[in-house]
Amino acid sequence: MSIKDRFSRLTPFQKNLCVWSLVGAGALFIVVVGYKVSRSPVAERARNQEKTREISLEPDLIQKTMLREQRKEIEAMQAQIAKLTKSEENRSRAIVPPPPVAPKSQLPEIPSADQVAHSATTVPPYGSVMPPRYPAPPPVHTPPPPKEEEKIIGGIGILSSQNPTPSAAKEPADKKKAERTVYLPPSFMEAMLLTGFDASTSGEGKNNPEPLLLRIQAPAVLPNDVKANLRGCFIIAEAVGKLNKERADVRLVSLSCIGRKGQAVIDATVKGFVTDSDSKVGLSGRVVSKMGAATARAVVAGIFGGAGNALQASTITQSTTALGSTSVVNADQLTKSAAGGGLAEGSKTLHDLYLDLAKQATPVIEVGAAKKVTVVVSEGKELAIKNFGNEAL
């Protein structure tokens, strides 16, 4: 049987498969033949020659391009340098004034021999100062503006004469004591809070304020730019809490100072107040309330008391007669009635105790130590100086 007969007996699918197989085999043959031809030595040699030619041409182009760019950069720099030099010349011309034109004058006369000899004899000796040709104008002294100096009064001390006069020795002791005073007018000064405190906000706390200690850090500022050196003095004050402002109002109690050598002491009562760093009266603090636990316990005790009363009432039988109403405890519920009565009485006692603790644990204003404040003396005070030891300082 021939190939043509065999092909005619195949189905259409088989015929298509054979045709496409032949086409694929032919394409594969063409690809293989082309690959071998491209890998032949002749093709490799031709390809290398083309690459060599391309590489040999590239350096010339690169050198020309680089030279052209460098030339452009050099020309740009030269233009910029020329521009800068022109600007500098214009600026120097604008700053430096032109030299003054000397007026036309006659030529100087030639001195004679006698004049030269006379000038030689009148030359001052070596080292002496030549007198000025023209007298210099007298210097003008402008007085400096007056400085407003602050007056600082020194520390606490007693001024006494080394050799007292007989009249001063005959003065009574009361008069001498009355003269040893210092008047402190209304003033303000910077201070440091040395002790922290908890100022109560209840009525009992107002009757019993919290004490605190202040130390003056700078001289007191008096009226008319006058300062008093009270640095280092102590101030005792009292604080009361204000819940509506969340601040503690501080009132001054006393001022205590001592001399540098310990020979004079000031301890007097003063009136004033303290301001915080925000320049408001009183010291700002943190509101602390510890009455919540005591109040909750009082409520729980009240609940237990009510339960005891209910338990005791459940054991009582009330009867109404012509004589009135009577309450009778059932004989079989005596134990239950006793337990209810005891629970009610004990809960009432605890309720009163916790209620008292809640009243005592009122909110307080907590203020810490080492706080910078300003002490204001609101009323002038005559401070008496107490002397100790020798009066002559």
Residue-level pLDDT at 160: 39
* Domain span including residue 353: 290-313+340-361
Residue-level pLDDT at 169: 43
Q: Is 54 helix (H, G, I), strand (E, B) or coil?
A: helix
- For residue 106, CA distances in Å to 100, 102, 136 come to 18, 12, 28
Q: Answer yes or no: do 301 and 182 share one domain.
A: no
Q: How many domains would you assign to the chain?
A: 2
Residue-level pLDDT at 145: 66
Residue-level pLDDT at 200: 86
DSSP, residue by residue, 219-274: -EEETTTEEE--TT-EEEEEEEEETTTTEEEEEEEEEEEE-TTSSEEEEEE--EEE
Looking at the domain assignment, is residue 90 inside a domain?
A: no
Residue-level pLDDT at 255: 94
Q: Answer yes or no: do 227 and 258 share one domain.
A: yes
- Give the model confidence (pLDDT) of 291-302 as tens digits: 777 777 777 778
Q: Answer yes or no: do 250 and 294 share one domain.
A: no
- Give the model confidence (pLDDT) of 166-207 as tens digits: 444 444 555 454 457 888 999 999 999 999 999 988 767 677
Task: Compute the chain's Rg from CA coordinates.
Answer: 58
Which element (helix H / strand E) includes 317? Answer: strand 316-321
Q: Answer yes or no: do 255 and 197 share one domain.
A: yes
Per-residue confidence in pLDDT tens, the chain, 393 aa: 666 677 677 777 877 888 888 888 888 888 888 888 777 776 667 666 655 555 444 556 677 778 888 888 899 988 989 888 888 887 777 665 555 555 554 555 555 656 655 555 555 555 455 555 545 566 666 767 666 555 555 454 443 333 444 444 444 555 454 457 888 999 999 999 999 999 988 767 677 899 999 999 999 999 988 898 889 999 999 999 988 888 999 999 999 998 877 777 889 999 999 999 998 999 999 998 877 777 777 777 788 788 787 877 777 777 777 677 777 677 777 777 778 788 788 888 887 887 777 777 778 899 999 999 999 999 998 988 887 655 433
> What angle separates helix 334-360 from helix 292-313, to the nearest 10 degrees?
160
Looking at the domain assignment, is residue 193 inside a domain?
A: yes
Q: Answer yes or no: do 302 and 349 share one domain.
A: yes
Q: Answer yes or no: do 258 and 301 share one domain.
A: no
| Burial of 196 (C-beta count, 10 Å sphere; 0-12/13-18/19+) | middle
Looking at the domain assignment, is residue 7 inside a domain?
A: no
Looking at the domain assignment, is residue 190 inside a domain?
A: yes
Residue-level pLDDT at 386: 83
Q: Answer yes or no: do 221 and 355 share one domain.
A: no
Q: Answer yes or no: do 255 and 357 share one domain.
A: no
- For residues 351 and 360, what is the distance between their CA atoms, to the nearest angstrom? 14
Residue-level pLDDT at 97: 58
